Structures are given as C-alpha cells and as structure tokens.
Amino acid sequence: MNTKLNRIYFDNAATTRIDDQVLEAMMPYLKEDYGNSSSIHSFGKSAKVLLEDARDAVASFLGANSKEIFFTSSGTESNNFALKGLAYRFLNTGKNHIITSSIEHSAVLDTTKYLEKKFGFEVTYLKPDSKGKISLTDVTSAIKPETFLISVMHSNNEIGIVNDIQKIAETAAEHKIFVHTDSVQSIGKTEFNVKDLNINLATLSAHKIYGPKGIAALYIKDKTPVEKFIHGGMQERDMRGGTENIAAIAGFKKAVEMLQSGFDNDVRHYDKLKKYTTGKIKGIFGESVFFNSSEENSLPNIVNISFDTEKLSFDEEMILIQLDLKGIAVSGGSACTAGTHKPSHVLTELGRDKKSALGSVRISFGRKNNTEEIDYFAESLKSIVKIKDEN
C-alpha cells in the first residue's frame, strides 16, 4: 500500500470524516438560507423550520420527544450542562452526593471535581472491574440519602465497554435519583433508546457520527430539574442562550438520518473489522498482547491493546509517532487528553502498569476502513513492537 497516497485513518473514536452527503446538506444554510432562526422574516423562518426538523430527527432516533432535545456546541458542553445544570438545582437542599466512575471522559471527571471544589458536593468515583465495566452492586452500595445524581457512561471512549445503564437506571428510580449517561461513543454503534433505558439525561455529538464538529445535543427528560446553562438569550426553549448553528444542525440532522437507514450495515462492518483485527494481532503477538477492549459487551468499532513489557520490546513514547510515520493514524486513548504525556487513566484503573498504559494503542474503525488497511497496520506494528527473543 502506498501510504503517501493512501493514509490510513484508524482514529474514528476521536472524530470522523464528515460525510459528503452531510456537507451537501449543510451548504444551503451557509450560502442561501443563512437567516437567524430567532428572526421573524422569511430568512429566519427557513432556519427555524430546519432547526425544529432536526430536533425531530434526533428525538426520533433516540426514542425521545422533540421538546427533550437541546442543541449544544459539543459533547463536553452537554456533559457540563447535564451535571452542573442538575447540581445547581440541588444547592443547599441537603442533596449533595453524586455517583460516577473513575474512568469517565474528562468532560465528566473535570466537572465533578469542579463541583466538589467550588460548591462542596461529595462525589463517589466507582472503580471498574478488570474489563472496565461498572458494577451494579457497587452503584447500589454507594447510594446515600443525599444522592441525587448517578452519571455513568453508556460506553467507554477508550476501551469500548458497554455498561448496563438500564439496570443502573432501574436502581436509581427506586431511590428517586436522576441518571445521566455520556453516550457519545454509543450512538450509531450499538442500540440506544432513552425511553428503554429510562434515563434522565444523555449526551451525544455529531462529529462522532460523520457529522460536523461544533454541534452536539443533550437529551433532558421532561420535568428533569436542570438549570439553564448559558445565559444571554431565549434560544433552546430558554435553556441555552446563543444563536443556533443552523448549518451544523443541518449536518447533524443528515448524519442522524444516515445512521437510521444504515445502522445494521455499519454495525456488521465494524464487527467484521474488529474480529479481523483481533485475529491478526493475536496471530503476531499471541499471549504477549493484552486486549483492553473486550470482545463481549463492547462497541464493535474499538480495539484497544497494550503490550506485555516482559515479552515485548517497544518504546512506549514513540509507538504512535512511528505508526504515523508509516501513514497510520491511531491513538493511545482519548483525543481530549492527547499530548499530556501521561498514561491513560482508564488503563491504569484497569491495572495496567505505566509503561503498558502509555504504550497502548486504540484502533477505532469507520465506514470506509477495510481489511487491507488492517493487514498493513498489523505488519507495521510488528516492525515497531518486537518479540524479545527475536532481538
């Protein structure tokens, strides 16, 4: 494969390439129909119609009502909106306890730490089991009379494990506790319906599903007591001030419509690539490689591996760079913490040592990836990570 002409992108969990049909759907709202959806003239009315049509599309995909969908600028904003918006409603009420996990995305962990430091909320950080799953028993044991919120991600962005949010929500409902889940990675890769899960809040983002960056959504179940997050306007039913990004919302709408029509094909494609990749890597490294992403109860588009430091020789700080020099784009974990030169907090919580965690590789597939690319990746990895007996 000529990698100068065909660079390989295996970092779709970080972001996806915007689909041509999505870009096409956006263009009219960047050129002709550029009105502000809050304006009363024809330009504004055209934008308003698109805005509400998009809200309907996202709601339909999630199994929600349109009035429960609020557009935001990112998954990070949606997570902040959910956690802070609910926490502010419970200030000085005696309900001051939040349950979350120690392997959440930084958009959740940094927010809960902020709530602890600035407002005195108490937060319990549950540790995962060896495969990264959050135990229902641990969630139940952590509940106190003061608990008002449980926030556990539906699927982990680094290892792809899928948590049983439905069971967690059932337990929470018994104690009249609200449930938020970061579902950014789950959308389009596994079944996700907010009514079936019986949750109060869910986060999703367009750029993970072949849509544009800069647009996301937060599902807020009707009558969930969430404070307005951004002040300065009456937009989003007076819950988030600021002019809506209509062109990006048009792209979000198209991306969701494409997910609905192509979901089964997408999942079959990802599953095929995951099984093929797992087989290739096992064939090269055998038991010397650790699969941090389980083959069961996990997303079909993520493979996360670490290497046995006793059996393999590698420079943990150079693996990603060496692969990039060969034309292969992968990551070591969340893109939001890339460049920190620290091992993944997810993998260290799973028990990986610093060298193994720092040298981990996350491969995440997209619609356009194929087995030929995986073959080249596997051979490239073999030339970088050496079996010690061969040195």
- Which residues fall within 8 angstroms of residue 123, CB to CB, at 6 or more apart? 97, 98, 99, 100, 112, 113, 115, 116
CA distance 23 to 115: 38
Tokens of 254: 């198209």
Question: Which stretch of DSSP H or E encloses residue 239?
Answer: none
Query: Are 227 and 89 in contact, with CB atoms under 8 Å apart?
Result: yes
**From the candidates 267, 284, 335, 336, which is the catalytic residue?**
336
Mutual orientation of helices 106-119 and 75-89 as an angle, nearest 10°?
30
DSSP letters for 63-106 = T--GGGEEEES-HHHHHHHHHHHHHHHTTTSS--EEEEETTS-H
Tokens of 109: 């962990």
Tokens of 42: 């024809």
Query: Can you tell me which residue has the tokens 């061969």?
Result: 390
Cα atoms in the Cβ-side hemisphere of radius 13 Å centred on 331 = 22
For the CA atoms of the chain, what is the radius of gyration? 22
CA distance 280 to 40: 59
Tokens of 182: 């970061």
DSSP letters for 32-58 = T----TT-SSHHHHHHHHHHHHHHHHH
Cα atoms in the Cβ-side hemisphere of radius 13 Å centred on 14 = 16
Dihedral sign for Cα atoms in the order 134, 140, 142, 145: positive
Among residues 292, 272, 306, 307, which one has the least CA distance to residue 386?
307
The residue type found at 164 is D
Reduced to 3 states (helix: H, G, I; strand: E, B; else coil), residue 126 is strand
Residue 142 a catalytic site member: no
Residues in the chain: 391
Task: Assign 3-class secondary structure to 307-322.
Answer: ECCCCEECCCCCHHHH
Q: Which residues are annotated as catalytic?
A: 336
